[in-house]
Structure 1
Amino acid sequence: MLEHDGKLRDALQDYARGVPEHVALAGQFLQLLDEGGEDPFARSRLAGHFTGSAWLVSADGRRVLLTHHRKLERWLQLGGHADGDRDLAGVALREAQEESGLSGLRLETRTPFDLDRHWIPERGQVPGHWHYDARYVVRAAADERFVVSEESLELAWRDIAAIAADAQADESLRRMARRWLAA
């Protein structure tokens, strides 16, 4: 077992510990980690693969930076494919930096804040597949001026309480907003 696989295993077990509704989902992530065959950290594994995302909160913790995703045409958290990187917390931090242009970002913890397994529809030559998305809290520094990358149509700081109350928002964003507010 590779070192990062052991760290991810520990982080997934920490995520599930004491929270019954997290156990089954964390179990699916652990199953993917344990499967033989194709690398679950590579997007070439078309049955499904790991991704890393950032719940990128403002310095004061009241807002989150969201992307209007170019391909999916939805407001989502920043994140992306692991592309062979077995450190999903590092993937989340890297993607947050690349997609926002913000400097001074810091990872709050190496335990996922949220896990989400979601279906990505067929696009071009890539068939539909599962993303096993581990989401980590990343905190912005005082300078919150972002740069929109080519992966986004737009970026925006959104009030977390407003996301939690918005019935039109992506359900996983609402779940993370509610979890953040409850913490």
Structure 2
Amino acid sequence: MHYLRQQLERYTPFNAQEEKDQEIILRYMDTFDNLLTRENEFAHFTASAWIVNEAKTKVLMAYHNIYNSWSWVGGHADGDVDLLHVALKEAKEETGLTNVKPLSEEMYSIEILGVPAHVKKGKHVATHVHLNVTFLLEASEDAPTSIKEDENSAVGWFELNQAIEESTEPDMQVVYRKLNEKLERWSDH
């Protein structure tokens, strides 16, 4: 956890949301020692991937069955402190990509995401929050993709603004808009 805490401490927030979320995540790290696993049923770490094409004009999304919405890919840390590793693993599992690479080893975005109560694998999951770290990944638009049947039913490339419109989750639309704004600034460097 020490390595993850160092990464979070040196992360430069993009906006007021990230500044506040960074403060809360660090406070949670001081309070709980089990944030890397779902044993902490109120808050735990997840890693997401914003997968862009080489031209950085499109993003790869998956149609997530639980939320009935087009969404980024990602998943629970499940004990792995290397959240970039988690994001890469989830990107490959959920999209079928074999050659996806990070554009940076640094965290691209952070957010605390509310997760409504739902049923997963026949079990009730209570409302909780994900302490999420997003990484910017790149893949070829021509690379073959496939679905992960137990999680999603489609995978597809979308223009950046179209990705926001295709999401049916208003809270996530805000996150995706932020990721696209960051991408514009990131691409200018």
| TM range, smaller chain | 0.7 to 0.9
How does the TM-score come out when normalised to structure 2?
0.83
Partner of 2:67: 72
Deviates more, 1:75-84 or 1:142-151: 142-151
* 1:11-22 aligned within 5 A: 11-16=7-12, 19=14, 21=16, 22=18
Give the drift of 1:20.
Answer: 5.8
- What value does the CA root-mean-square deviation take over the aligned residues? 2.2
Choose the corresponding residue for 1:177, options 176, 180, 189: 180
* 1:3-152 aligned within 5 A: 5-16=1-12, 19=14, 21=16, 22-37=18-33, 39-124=34-119, 125-141=124-140, 143-150=142-149, 151-152=151-152
- Asked if the contact 1:54–1:136 (Cα under 8 Å) also holds between the matched residues in 2, the reply is yes
- Asked if the contact 2:70–2:166 (Cα under 8 Å) also holds between the matched residues in 1, the reply is no
Give the drift of 1:71.
Answer: 0.6
Q: 1:142 to 1:36 in 2, by over 3 A?
A: closer
**Per-residue Cα deviation, 1:16-75 (whole angstroms, up to 9, x for no partner):** 26x5623221112222222235x1011121111100000011122211101111111122
Counterpart secondary structure, 2:11? helix
Q: Aligned partner of 1:89: which letter?
A: L
- Asked if the contact 1:148–1:154 (Cα under 8 Å) also holds between the matched residues in 2, the reply is yes
**Per-residue Cα deviation, 1:118-140 (whole angstroms, up to 9, x for no partner):** 11111232111011111001111
- Asked if the contact 2:51–2:60 (Cα under 8 Å) also holds between the matched residues in 1, the reply is yes
Structure 1: runs of 5+ lacking an equivalent:
none
- Asked if the contact 1:43–1:49 (Cα under 8 Å) also holds between the matched residues in 2, the reply is yes
Q: 1:143 to 1:103 in 2, by over 3 A?
A: farther
**Per-residue Cα deviation, 1:69-96 (whole angstroms, up to 9, x for no partner):** 1111122110011111111111001100
Structure 2: runs of 5+ lacking an equivalent:
none
Counterpart secondary structure, 2:6? helix
Q: 1:7 to 1:108 in 2, by over 3 A?
A: farther
Q: 1:67 to 1:166 in 2, by over 3 A?
A: closer
- Asked if the contact 2:61–2:163 (Cα under 8 Å) also holds between the matched residues in 1, the reply is no
How many pairs does the alignment contain? 177
Deviates more, 1:112-121 or 1:21-30: 21-30
Q: 1:128 to 1:166 in 2, by over 3 A?
A: closer
